[in-house]
């Protein structure tokens, strides 16, 4: 059974630091600024042979007027509901605040197992502070320092003890065959509708959506399992131009997006139909291509425009991305769910195309006559460039090597020609391919 452990607390008590410590990697952004985490971030961990999921939540505040903080509270309540054990985090340096008391009151009513965790105990003397955390109404509490790891081992021992004691173990566990689950990420500029698309896929309000640009700060993953398809969907923060990144938090968010692109198999590049294809969209597309990831271009908010304009925009984009011309381009409305049901099936097709392997004899049978009829431009009259043999490399993404007598003189335009022919004759829809020329 998959145990869920949620970390709850007011802003800036170290929830994300503890989350990263338990996971053993930096998944959540940690910053001195209060309120960096907004959406719930999920991760998997294991301690003493017991596996469990950890949920990092946004900081709980008493404010009732801020729209964003209202949405964060909704996500916190969901994390409380789905948790088997709650780690209630407080700050020994700040002591007990009114917000801590309000959170304690909510947790006492939720009928969940709550472990009170006193964080930022950087030295032994801190333990003997005047603050009496027992007054929050929980039986025992643990002193830790999430930033340097002291006390976290004892906390995890207690956590595992609780999980075993309460017998959350599923009695009749079925052996599930391990299989590769595709990883799809939604990328693009800020405020193009990435989180709205994820919510529409799941048919529920899973990720916070507001009109505020840059609401999503972390890369968030969720399991999608519908209509015979299973995949992991990643919602990413918007990627701005470097010159427009002013805050360090936004810098870390952008880095999370770039890391997610490296980690996923297929990227959904979302474009705002109102703004059209901009230079930053092309930069993100090049980044996806550079990492040899599958790509689908989604033109969002298309319900605001006339359908006759689709061909013009699609033609314009295909000219920009040539010779990678067979990228699927879909016109959707993430908010109204128009056209979104075609995305996952096409993404699955792109995912399979990435692993498509061509037999060497078939590749040579089709490509060599084409290359003989249209050889590379000659260097000199007495030195003709010829290509005698080609094969696909055994790599995780499509890479082809062509053997030539003068590979160093083959220019980029001819490489594009070769790529174009491979795309025309073989099924590599939405997949970047690499062409390499080597000495025969």
Q: Which of 21-30, 367-376, 396-405 has the lowest mean pLDDT?
A: 21-30
Q: Are residues 366 and 346 in the same domain?
A: no
Q: Are residues 257 and 401 in the same domain?
A: no
Q: Supply 351's token pair.
A: 């995912």
Are β-strands 229-235 and 183-188 bridged in parallel, bridged antiparallel, or unpaired?
parallel
- Calpha distance 22→14 (Å, rounded): 12
Q: Is residue 172 part of a domain?
A: no
Q: Which of 31-40, 281-290, 343-352, 379-388 has the lowest mean pLDDT?
A: 31-40
Q: Are residues 158 and 306 in the same domain?
A: no
Which residue has better confidence, 384 or 256? 384
Q: Are residues 62 and 125 in the same domain?
A: yes
Last residue of some domain: 165, 191, 206? 165
Q: Are residues 235 and 209 in the same domain?
A: yes
Q: CATH code at 290? A: 3.40.50.300
Last residue of some domain: 304, 330, 354? 354
Q: Are residues 204 and 347 in the same domain?
A: yes
Average pLDDT over residues 26-37: 51
Q: Is residue 105 part of a domain?
A: yes
- Calpha distance 94→340 (Å, rounded): 47
Which residue has better confidence, 248 or 201? 201
**pLDDT at residue 176, as a whole number:** 37
CA 222 from centroid of its chain's CA atoms: 9
- Calpha distance 236→222 (Å, rounded): 12
Q: CATH code at 411? A: 3.30.300.20
Q: Are residues 242 and 95 in the same domain?
A: no
Q: Is residue 170 part of a domain?
A: no
**pLDDT of 36 higher than 70:** no
Q: Are residues 53 and 72 in the same domain?
A: yes
Q: Are residues 111 and 258 in the same domain?
A: no
Peptide bond into 323 cis (omega under 30): yes
Q: How confident is the model at residue 239 (pLDDT cuts 50, 70, 90)?
A: low
Reported pTM = 0.58
Which residue has better confidence, 336 or 251? 336
Average pLDDT over residues 192-221: 64
Q: Is residue 220 part of a domain?
A: yes
- Calpha distance 87→102 (Å, rounded): 15
- CA–CA distances in Å: residue 286 to residues 99, 156, 164, 289, 399: 46, 43, 49, 5, 17
Average pLDDT over residues 264-280: 88
Q: Are residues 327 and 197 in the same domain?
A: yes
Q: Is residue 173 part of a domain?
A: no
**pLDDT at residue 312, as a whole number:** 85
Give the largest CA-CA distance in the chain. Answer: 92
Average pLDDT over residues 323-335: 88
**pLDDT of 1 higher than 70:** no
Average pLDDT over residues 203-208: 56
Residues 6 or more apart whose CB falls under 8 angstroms from that of 176 comprise none
**pLDDT at residue 214, as a whole number:** 47
Q: Which of 89-93, 135-139, 245-249 has the lowest mean pLDDT?
A: 245-249
What is the percent of the chain where pLDDT is above 70?
78
Q: Is residue 44 part of a domain?
A: yes
Q: Are residues 121 and 269 in the same domain?
A: no
| 121-158 pLDDT per residue, tens | 877 665 656 567 777 877 777 888 888 888 888 888 88
Q: Is residue 394 part of a domain?
A: yes
Are β-strands 266-272 and 229-235 bridged in parallel, bridged antiparallel, or unpaired?
unpaired
Mean confidence (pLDDT) of the chain = 79
**pLDDT of 367 higher than 90:** yes
| 97-118 pLDDT per residue, tens | 888 888 888 888 887 888 898 8
Last residue of some domain: 292, 324, 354? 354
Structural domain for 296, as ranges: 183-354
Average pLDDT over residues 264-282: 88
Q: Are residues 210 and 232 in the same domain?
A: yes
The angle formed by the CA atoms of residues 362, 364 and 365, to the nearest 5 degrees, is 60
The domain total for the chain is 3
**pLDDT at residue 346, as a whole number:** 94
Q: How confident is the model at residue 32 (pLDDT cuts 50, 70, 90)?
A: very low
Q: Is residue 404 part of a domain?
A: yes
């Amino acid at each position: 059974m998959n145990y869920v452990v949620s970390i709850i607390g007011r802003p800036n008590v170290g929830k994300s630091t503890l989350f990263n410590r338990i996971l053993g990697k930096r998944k959540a952004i940690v910053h001195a600024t209060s309120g960096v985490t907004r959406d719930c971030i999920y991760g998997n961990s294991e301690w003493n042979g017991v596996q469990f999921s950890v949920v990092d939540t946004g900081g709980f505040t008493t404010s009732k007027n801020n729209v964003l903080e209202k949405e964060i509270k909704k996500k916190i309540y969901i994390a409380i509901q789905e948790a088997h054990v709650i780690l209630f985090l407080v700050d020994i340096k700040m002591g007990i605040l009114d917000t801590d008391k309000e959170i304690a009151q909510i947790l006492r009513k939720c009928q969940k197992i709550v472990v009170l965790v006193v964080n930022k105990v950087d030295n032994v003397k801190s333990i003997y502070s005047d603050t009496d955390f027992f007054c929050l109404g929980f039986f025992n509490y643990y002193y830790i320092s999430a930033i340097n790891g002291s006390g976290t081992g004892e906390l995890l021992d207690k956590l595992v003890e609780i999980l075993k004691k309460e017998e959350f173990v599923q009695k009749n566990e079925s052996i599930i065959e391990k299989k590769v689950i595709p990883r799809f990420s939604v990328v693009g500029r800020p405020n193009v509708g990435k989180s709205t698309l994820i919510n529409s896929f799941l048919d529920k309000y899973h990720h916070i959506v507001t009109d505020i640009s840059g609401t999503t700060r972390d890369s968030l993953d969720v399991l999608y399992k519908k209509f015979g398809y299973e995949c992991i969907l990643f919602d990413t923060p918007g990627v701005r131009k470097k010159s427009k990144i002013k805050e360090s938090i936004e810098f870390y968010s952008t880095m999370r997006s770039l890391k997610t692109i490296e980690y996923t198999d297929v990227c959904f590049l979302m474009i705002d139909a109102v703004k059209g294809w901009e230079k930053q969209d092309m930069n993100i597309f090049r980044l996806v291509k550079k990492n040899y990831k599958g790509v689908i271009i989604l033109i969002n908010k298309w319900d605001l425009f006339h359908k006759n304009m689709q061909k013009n925009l699609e033609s314009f984009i295909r000219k920009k991305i040539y010779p990678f011309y067979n990228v699927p381009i879909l016109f959707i409305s993430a908010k109204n769910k128009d056209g979104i049901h075609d995305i996952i099936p096409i993404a699955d097709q792109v995912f399979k195309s990435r692993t498509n392997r061509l037999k060497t004899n078939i590749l040579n049978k089709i490509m060599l006559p084409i290359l003989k009829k249209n050889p590379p431009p000659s260097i000199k009259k007495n030195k003709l460039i010829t290509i005698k043999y080609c094969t696909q490399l055994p790599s995780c993404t499509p890479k082809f090597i062509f053997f030539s007598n003068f590979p160093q003189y083959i220019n980029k335009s001819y490489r594009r020609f070769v790529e174009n022919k491979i795309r025309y004759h073989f099924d590599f829809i939405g997949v970047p391919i690499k062409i390499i020329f080597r000495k025969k």
